[in-house]
Amino acid sequence: MTTLMKETLSKSSIYMPTPARITAVRTFTQAEKMFKLELPSGFSLDHRPGQFVELSILGIGEAPISICSSPSRSNGHFELCVRSVGKLTEAMHRLGRGAVVGIRGPFGRPFPVENFRGKDVLFIAGGLGLAPRAP
């Protein structure tokens, strides 16, 4: 898909999933995998820290998944850490490099990171929220 101007997903339609290709998969544990995804050329996720996307697989369904990569180091990619717990996430774990999934978003109220500038910041995370904290 090509467009002359860079288009953000939310501007195209919040209800229409945009196809994203899996470009890498890292297995963290039996239940958790990190997926690197790439949007079609001309599209950008344009997310802020703390937001999530709706991840869909045709014929399976959709689930909210947090974006765990930095918006400032995206380079056309973003990362999702997925714990296999049910229909959608188990199907996602069966996919590999080159597979295409649907992405809607970004959604959710972002962290006001501009207010943190110059201050000491304490990060507290639990469960899957720990994944983006890993080096």
Ligand X SMILES: Cc1cc2nc3c(=O)[nH]c(=O)nc-3n(C[C@H](O)[C@H](O)[C@H](O)COP(=O)(O)OP(=O)(O)OC[C@H]3O[C@@H](n4cnc5c(N)ncnc54)[C@H](O)[C@@H]3O)c2cc1C
Binding residues for ligand X, per CB under 6 A?
Answer: 52, 61, 63-66, 81-83, 85-89, 128
Number of residues in the chain: 135
Biggest alpha carbon–alpha carbon distance for the chain: 47
Taking the least distance from each CB to ligand X, the nearer of 6 and 67 is: 67
Q: Name which of 43 and 78 has its Cβ closer to ligand X.
A: 78
Least distance CB 33 / ligand X (angstroms): 9
Q: Which residue is nearest to ligand X (CB)?
A: 86
Residue 39 C-beta: closest distance to ligand X, Å: 18
Nearer to ligand X among residue 42 and residue 110 (C-beta): 110
Q: How far is the CB of 91 from ligand X (least distance, A)?
A: 8
Distance between CA atoms of residues 21 and 36, nearest Å: 8
Q: Which residues of 105-124 are buried (b: 16+ CB within 10 A; e: fewer)?
A: bbeeeeeeeeeeeeeeeeee
Q: C-alpha 11: how far from its chain's center?
A: 17
